[in-house]
Structure 1
Amino acid sequence: MEHRLSKRVHGKLGLLVYKRGMPVATGQIRDASKRGLFIATDYTDVQLNQTVELEFRFPDKQEKQFRRLKAHVVRKSDNGLGVDFEGVENDGFTISSLMQWLKKHHMPMAYFPVRRKAY
């Protein structure tokens, strides 16, 4: 049985993953909480506890500004990355806005589509 400290919100929103200030991968948020996210991606060149930046924007809003959050990688799987916001400085308003947007939108957004490796 899984134990979570905060409620998860399911949704889909494309994003870019940055390492050391450089974009390194695309992904899609699949679920989120006030404490972290699960990102569907095929990117694997990241270590546990490594800090990454995540860039996204809300496609239906009038503002076209991109938002960034910092997070620590806490889980890696074949399907993506689990990241945690604890221990890094973030704007709480951005996290709250992301949670509210995901609650309202359940359709996939294709701004940064996840690429799968061909086998």
Structure 2
Amino acid sequence: MEISKLKPAPSPKPRPIIGMIPEMTKDMLGMFMGLTKNHGGIVQFKLLNKTYMLVTKPEYVKHILQSNHHNYIRGKSVETGRVLLGNGLPLSDGEFWLQQRRIMQPAFH
């Protein structure tokens, strides 16, 4: 997703170039959990000089992925995410996304 020029989300202290790489290579899940614990349900962070948003608050996730998904498009930087995390539901688009969402939907009802 491309980030607009709105008020920035909470974020950790920025580190030029390397961003969150040391934490990510040591314990990626722990890094994401720490960001959420320290900064809340929406966090902005840098990785390889690109800005990313981590959204964990359930109502925000629902807004982005379900009720208002047409207003959120994935940018070119999502390819980095696919390399790290695979082409799962949060990173896929189009027909592939719809197929995955239909498979997962019963688990959320």
| TM-score, normalization by structure 2 | 0.28
Q: Give the structure with higher Rg (CA).
A: 2
Q: Which has the higher contact order (CA 8 A, sep 6+)?
A: 1
